[in-house]
């Protein structure tokens, strides 16, 4: 019996080795999504500038809907994110629906340091999206009258669509509830709301958010679920509490301690957020200090000044965790740069809890985290087979085939030893594959 098992194992290895050898020929002839591919997340073709992107499921048994992908740079990451968003928008419009999407602020969706296009740039260039059949709900906005993120979405997206003579989406951005307006600021609020309405950005308070969302969803997809088609956001920076412990990884302004059932609301900003975002006008205008003055105080100084009443509190309006997790069909989050390594590790590998609200995305039915290579730690790189050079491509190929096609608990090490566990285990790759479009050289 042992001899027979050994013969079967050897035959299986030779058979799969043959599959690997003829892989490239099969792929070039078929271009089929079902064709097996080289065990790499990114197959780059310099002539066509086209990538095939695979995703891993880091925890299939506990979080089957959570998928992780990695780009080689911030621009590559942006292309992956944009393709996922584009896919959902086109699918909705092909089904006769108006696409309802949630979009972020901050640096994550913008151009990289070399000026290469970010998510908003790439989306604006699309010719197969009817933007008049898209409704965008922005994730957050500062309190007060700076209207930072009203201006942000206008300058970084709406203005670009106008330059390209594209139709415009309906865009909603949060604003302070009227009950919180200072009497001497009422006129300024009114002028800003009207100014941005004329630019194509509609203001909605947290009090009105649910009813406005309901109304738009009923129009957009009368026969569909009460959910946005897709939402996109960036991961906040982690706070170090010990040598190996981090907390505070937030999404939008759902800061440390936010619960998954919390809804869109006006929320007080922590001293750490005030300090970290001190360059933003929305912070400076609320507490009456310049970026330099806030930096001189430091986090502890800001905390003490707030406690002593020397500076006023700062607020923001944020889409709630509930809307992101329960009222969005597909959620995509992104992180780039070495400063986000702890944040990514927390979200992918650590316990899901209110200490790190962003980690709740793992529990969503269809969620993605897309990072660039700089944001991947040594712990995380161990999830990516192409980062492990101890085993040959053939061994990776066999492990990938057995894991993905048959659900066996197989690793390259087990392939090398010729041993397999005939159990349902976590596959190396998810079945999600996207093909990135060719880019025009003038984008």
pLDDT in tens, 106-144: 999 999 989 999 999 999 999 999 999 999 999 999 999
pLDDT in tens, 312-331: 999 999 999 999 999 999 99
108 and 14 together in one domain: no
Q: How many CB atoms within 10 Å of residue 262?
A: 17
88 and 167 together in one domain: yes
Position 351 scores a pLDDT of 86
403 and 340 together in one domain: no
Position 49 scores a pLDDT of 41
Stretch 258-263: mean pLDDT, rounded? 96
Position 297 scores a pLDDT of 96
Question: What average pLDDT does the structure give for the chain?
Answer: 81
Residue 440 falls within a domain, yes or no?
Answer: no
Residue 232 falls within a domain, yes or no?
Answer: yes
Of the candidates 271, 253, 249, 272, the one whose C-alpha atom is nearest the C-alpha of residue 263 is 253
pLDDT in tens, 402-438: 454 444 444 545 444 433 332 323 334 445 556 666 5
- Asked if pLDDT for residue 46 goes beyond 50, the answer is no
Q: Which residue has the tokens 């301690």?
A: 257
Q: Which residue has the tokens 């990538």?
A: 51
Stretch 283-301: mean pLDDT, rounded? 96
80 and 114 together in one domain: yes
Tell me how far apart the alpha carbons of residues 11 and 376 are, in angstroms, rounded to a whole number: 38
- Asked if pLDDT for residue 394 goes beyond 60, the answer is no
Position 423 scores a pLDDT of 30
Domain that holds residue 418: 2-56+385-435
Position 71 scores a pLDDT of 84
More confident residue, 290 or 430: 290
Question: For residues 126 and 86, is the Cβ–Cβ distance under 8 A?
Answer: yes
Position 432 scores a pLDDT of 58
278 and 135 together in one domain: no
More confident residue, 234 or 40: 234
| Domain count for the chain | 3
Tell me how far apart the alpha carbons of residues 298 and 215 are, in angstroms, rounded to a whole number: 44
Residues 6+ apart with CB under 8 A from 40: 54, 385, 386
Handedness of CA 82, 85, 88, 90 (dihedral sign): negative
280 and 418 together in one domain: no
Question: For residues 319 and 252, is the Cβ–Cβ distance under 8 A?
Answer: yes
Position 56 scores a pLDDT of 78
276 and 360 together in one domain: no
Handedness of CA 293, 249, 370, 154 (dihedral sign): negative
Position 377 scores a pLDDT of 82
pLDDT in tens, 80-94: 999 999 999 999 999
Position 402 scores a pLDDT of 47
Position 23 scores a pLDDT of 44
């Amino acid at each position: 019996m042992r001899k027979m098992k050994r013969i079967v194992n050897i035959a299986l290895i030779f058979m799969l080795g043959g599959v690997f050898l003829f892989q490239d020929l099969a792929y070039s002839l078929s271009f089929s999504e079902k064709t097996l591919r080289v065990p790499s997340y990114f197959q780059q073709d310099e002539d066509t500038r086209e990538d095939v992107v695979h995703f891993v499921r880091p925890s299939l048994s506990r979080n089957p809907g959570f998928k992780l992908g990695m780009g080689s740079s911030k621009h590559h990451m942006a292309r992956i994110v944009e393709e996922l968003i584009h896919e959902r928008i086109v699918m909705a419009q092909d089904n006769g629906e108006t696409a309802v999407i949630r979009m972020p602020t901050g640096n994550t969706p913008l151009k990289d340091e070399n000026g290469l296009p970010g998510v908003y740039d790439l989306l604006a260039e699309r010719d197969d999206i009817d933007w008049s059949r898209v409704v965008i709900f922005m994730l957050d906005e500062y309190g007060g009258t700076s209207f930072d993120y009203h201006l942000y979405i206008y300058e970084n997206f709406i203005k670009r669509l106008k330059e390209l003579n594209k139709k415009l989406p309906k865009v909603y951005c949060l604003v302070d509830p009227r009950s919180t307006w200072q009497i001497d600021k009422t006129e300024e609020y009114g002028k800003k709301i009207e100014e941005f309405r004329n630019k194509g950005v509609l203001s909605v308070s947290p009090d009105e958010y649910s009813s406005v969302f309901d109304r738009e969803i009923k129009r957009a997809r009368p026969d569909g679920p009460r959910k946005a088609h897709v939402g996109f956001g960036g991961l906040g920076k982690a706070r170090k509490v010990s040598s190996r412990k981090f907390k505070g990884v937030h999404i939008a302004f759902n800061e440390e301690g936010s619960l998954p059932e919390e809804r869109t609301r006006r929320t007080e900003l922590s001293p750490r957020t005030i300090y970290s975002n001190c360059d933003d006008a929305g912070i400076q205008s609320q507490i009456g200090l310049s970026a330099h003055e806030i930096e001189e105080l430091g986090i502890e100084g800001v905390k003490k000044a707030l406690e002593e009443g020397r500076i006023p509190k700062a607020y923001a309006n944020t889409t709630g965790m509930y809307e992101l997790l329960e009222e969005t069909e597909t959620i995509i989050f992104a992180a780039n740069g070495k400063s986000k390594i702890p944040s990514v590790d927390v979200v992918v590998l650590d316990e899901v809890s209110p200490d790190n609200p962003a980690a709740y995305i793992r529990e969503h039915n269809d969620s993605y985290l897309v990072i660039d290579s700089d944001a991947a730690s040594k712990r995380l790189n161990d999830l990516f087979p192409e980062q492990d050079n101890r085993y040959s491509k053939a061994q990776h190929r066999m492990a990938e085939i057995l894991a993905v096609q048959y659900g066996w608990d197989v690793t390259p090490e087990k392939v090398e030893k010729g041993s397999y566990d005939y159990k349902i285990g976590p596959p190396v790759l998810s079945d999600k594959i996207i093909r990135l479009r060719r880019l025009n050289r003038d984008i």
